[in-house]
Amino acid sequence: MALLAVGSIALDSVQTPHGVVEDVLGGSATYFSYAASFFTPVRLVGVVGEDFPPEHRELLAARDIDLSGLEVVGGQTFRWRGSYEGAMNAATTLDVQLNVFGSFEPKIPAGFRDSKFVFLGNASPRLQKLVLDQLDSPELAVNDTMNFYIENERDSLVNLLGQLDGIVINDAEAVQLTGTHNLVEAGRQILAYGTKFVVIKKGEHGAVLFDGDTVFCIPAYPLDEVVDPTGAGDSFAGGMMGYLASVGKIDSKTLRKALAYGTVVASFNVQGFSLTSFQRISRADIDARFEEFETMMRF
Amino acid sequence: MALLAVGSIALDSVQTPHGVVEDVLGGSATYFSYAASFFTPVRLVGVVGEDFPPEHRELLAARDIDLSGLEVVGGQTFRWRGSYEGAMNAATTLDVQLNVFGSFEPKIPAGFRDSKFVFLGNASPRLQKLVLDQLDSPELAVNDTMNFYIENERDSLVNLLGQLDGIVINDAEAVQLTGTHNLVEAGRQILAYGTKFVVIKKGEHGAVLFDGDTVFCIPAYPLDEVVDPTGAGDSFAGGMMGYLASVGKIDSKTLRKALAYGTVVASFNVQGFSLTSFQRISRADIDARFEEFETMMRF
């Protein structure tokens, strides 16, 4: 089943203890779409500037990613510059230039409006709502958000959650959104805003799913070398949503398996800068690591 | 099979967002022993002062904990005062008075020397070695340590590890001991010092087992209310070692199950101050939560 992804497409400059890259392909919708494309066809809606390198476009077009919703407008592409140190748990943002993404008003192509699985990447709740309103009848609409919108557009966000089926959010955002430090309590509070499920991402510590009364915890896949954590959360969401769209179900058992796939896909992503690690693997590699992970977690 | 525990017995004064307690029963060997006593008889070696309240002694004696190695000497019992805030991930130590524990030289009673399962609680590597040298032929000797000994007695510690079967250490200590921020790399480096296995505790994020080439990650049991995290790590080790001693095996499958039992026992501990939560439960409660946890983790 086709999966619609809306969000940022960026040129990232990143420094980690493993190296430095300049103007590489990044952005939440980019990581999400590439990750999801291992599982299902993806429809991408986003915006880039006239400076967006043709090879980046080709890299996405070579996947099962429909780029007919990718707008090219006059100006520069969204740029992010950041660095990671030590345990690389959090990025230090050194510079952000929203550029053409700053005035992005997503227009969903007519052919995308029947999308049943939808991911509203990190953007303002107002933009996310704008996307939702253009769709016919999505079966599973999930969003992500960030500290800026929790601080400045909290009511719109909480209101929007009442219209969504799920949210994928990181631990610091969950704490900020609910005012509690206990993630179990935070997850339950967010559920009360109206989504069917809540996923709290904890970076190297894994993720937690709240689905009705049940709580499911999954550790991260253990890696002895993380090259660049950029895009791990979006890759996780992409693996998760891609798997869900591929099986067309969202029952509790499928959701757990989707989190495990998200975990495995994110683990590949952080083994290289930008999409380089993804470019080396296939669905078979993901399935092999999934099996290994499942065995690894059993007690 | 009887399990020998050597370590601190303390009077703790603790403040958390859930309350304040003064001079309650604490200490690494106390939490460890009580936790292990749900699974197997425990032999405790430690020291207290003449001020140690009789009711604390009775609380331990009422369990299957042999107190013939509990020395009472002139002076005051070890005292620790600490507080936790926010997410309660780390204690702020407000005051430490080593008192009689400062000059503790563990003497293992003759009847304890045949102990096959041994836990050397947080103390200097020199003291831990002193205990080891008094034992006939332990089958499984495991220790814990802390930042102070890693900083000041690193060589003795690394040397001692060559004579031990396992170590249970927290994430910050593993980073400090190895100089790497990557826990998988840290675990493997510590294994290279000579133990059969390494357990890295990550507090609310669970634990990781390194056992030969395999890595096993387990999340913490999700709780919507943590009252007091004091003793969680020692309770984890007690549940783990208690289970291992009770089955008398240390193969890979048993080790994983032991980590899961440690996780469950620690989850009960943090639901109350001091040992109050343990006093409310039985092995049946632990087994019930273990089953629930196992189901909860499956994908």
Residues of B in contact with A260 (CB under 8 A): 299
Mean pLDDT of chain A: 96
| Contact call for residues B71 and B108 (beta carbons, < 8 A) | no
Residues of B in contact with A216 (CB under 8 A): 296-297, 299
Provide the pLDDT for residue A256. 97
Quickly state the pLDDT bin for A24 (edges 50, 70, 90): very high
Quickly state the pLDDT bin for A125 (edges 50, 70, 90): very high
pLDDT at A2 over 90: no
pLDDT digits (tens, 9 = 90+) for B179-224: 999 999 999 999 999 999 999 999 999 999 999 999 999 999 999 9
Residues of A in contact with B204 (CB under 8 A): 183
A169's tokens:
């959010």
CA of residue A263 relative to chain centroid, distance: 12
B235's tokens:
């309770």
Quickly state the pLDDT bin for A100 (edges 50, 70, 90): very high
Mean per-residue pLDDT for B160-178?
Answer: 97
d(CA A67, CA A44): 6
d(CA B19, CA B1): 38
Nearest to B219 among A206, A225, A260 (CB): A206
Strand-pairing partners, residue A40, are none
Residue showing tokens 């992804």: A5
- Parallel, antiparallel or unpaired: strands B197-201 and B78-83: unpaired
ipTM of the complex: 0.86
| Contact call for residues A167 and A145 (beta carbons, < 8 A) | yes
Question: What is the three-class DSSP state of B255?
Answer: helix
CA of residue B167 relative to chain centroid, distance: 10
d(CA A282, CA B272): 48
d(CA A228, CA A193): 34
pLDDT at B278 over 90: yes
d(CA A288, CA B53): 58
d(CA B20, CA B22): 7
Residue showing tokens 């253009």: A134
For A294, the closest chain B residue by CA position comes to: B299
| Contact call for A225 and B185, based on CB within 8 A | yes
Nearest to A299 among B181, B223, B257 (CB): B257
For A222, the closest chain B residue by CA position comes to: B184
A91-96: long-range contacts, CB 8 A cutoff, minimum separation 24: A91/A229, A91/A230
Instruction: Please give, rounded to a whole number of angstroms, the shortest distance from the CA of A190 to a CA of chain B.
Output: 14
pLDDT at A89 over 90: no
pLDDT at B276 over 90: yes
Instruction: Please give, rounded to a whole number of angstroms, the shortest distance from the CA of B252 to a CA of chain A.
Output: 10
Count Cα neighbours of A198 within 13 Å in the Cβ-side half-sphere. Answer: 30
Count Cα neighbours of A154 within 13 Å in the Cβ-side half-sphere. Answer: 11
Element (H, E) at B263: helix B252-269
Nearest to A218 among B202, B224, B299 (CB): B299
d(CA A268, CA A50): 30
Handedness of CA A102, A103, A106, A109 (dihedral sign): negative
Nearest to B217 among A87, A257, A297 (CB): A297
For B203, the closest chain A residue by CA position comes to: A205
Mean per-residue pLDDT for B58-62?
Answer: 97
Mean per-residue pLDDT for A162-189?
Answer: 96
Provide the pLDDT for residue B157. 97
Residues of A in contact with B183 (CB under 8 A): 204, 222
Mutation for B interface: A18, A253, A299, most B CBs within 10 A:
A299
State the burial class of residue A296 (Cβ atoms within 10 Å of its Cβ: 0-12, 13-18, 19+): middle
Mean per-residue pLDDT for A180-191?
Answer: 96
Provide the pLDDT for residue A90. 86
Question: What is the three-class DSSP state of B243?
Answer: helix
Instruction: Please give, rounded to a whole number of angstroms, the shortest distance from the CA of B56 to a CA of chain A.
Output: 31
DSSP letter for B47, please.
Answer: E
Looking at the whole model, is its pTM more than 0.95? no
One-letter amino acid for residue A42 of the chain:
V
| Contact call for B184 and A223, based on CB within 8 A | yes
Quickly state the pLDDT bin for A70 (edges 50, 70, 90): very high
pLDDT at B87 over 90: no
pLDDT digits (tens, 9 = 90+) for A154-163: 999 999 999 9
Mean pLDDT of chain B: 96
| Contact call for A214 and B296, based on CB within 8 A | yes
Provide the pLDDT for residue A262. 98
Residues of A in contact with B214 (CB under 8 A): 296
Interhelix angle B154-161/B125-133, nearest 10 degrees = 30
Provide the pLDDT for residue A139. 96
d(CA A33, CA A136): 21
Element (H, E) at B73: strand B65-73
% residues pLDDT > 70 (chain A): 100
DSSP letter for B102, please.
Answer: G
pLDDT at B228 over 90: yes
Residues of B in contact with A219 (CB under 8 A): 205-206, 208, 217-219
pLDDT at A112 over 90: yes
Residues of A in contact with B252 (CB under 8 A): none
CA-closest candidate to residue A265, choices A278, A256, A254: A278
pLDDT at B144 over 90: yes
| Contact call for residues B36 and B5 (beta carbons, < 8 A) | yes
pLDDT digits (tens, 9 = 90+) for A215-263: 999 999 999 999 999 999 999 999 999 999 999 999 999 999 999 999 9
* Secondary structure (DSSP) of chain A: --EEEE---EEEEEEETTEEEEEEEE-HHHHHHHHHTTTS-EEEEEEEETT--HHHHHHHHTTTEEEEEEEEESSPPEEEEEE--TT--SPEEEEEE-GGGGG------GGGTT-SEEEE-SS-HHHHHHHHHT-S--SEEEE---HHHHHHSHHHHHHHHTT-SEEEEEHHHHHHHHS-S-HHHHHHHHHTTT-SEEEEE-GGG-EEEEETTEEEEEPPPP-S--S--TTHHHHHHHHHHHHHHHHT--SHHHHHHHHHHHHHHHHHHTTSSTTHHHHT--HHHHHHHHHHHHHHH--
Residues of B in contact with A208 (CB under 8 A): 219, 222
Question: What is the three-class DSSP state of B278?
Answer: helix
% residues pLDDT > 70 (chain B): 100
Question: What is the three-class DSSP state of B179?
Answer: coil
Mean per-residue pLDDT for B30-53?
Answer: 98
pLDDT digits (tens, 9 = 90+) for A275-298: 999 999 999 999 999 999 999 888
| Contact call for B216 and A297, based on CB within 8 A | yes
| Contact call for A299 and B226, based on CB within 8 A | no
From the CA atom positions of chain A, what is the Rg in Å? 18
State the burial class of residue B143 (Cβ atoms within 10 Å of its Cβ: 0-12, 13-18, 19+): buried
Mean per-residue pLDDT for B229-250?
Answer: 97
Strand-pairing partners, residue B128, are none
State the burial class of residue A172 (Cβ atoms within 10 Å of its Cβ: 0-12, 13-18, 19+): middle
Task: Compute the count of residue pairs across chains A and B with CB atoms less than 8 Å apart.
Answer: 96
CA-closest candidate to residue A40, choices A242, A238, A240: A242
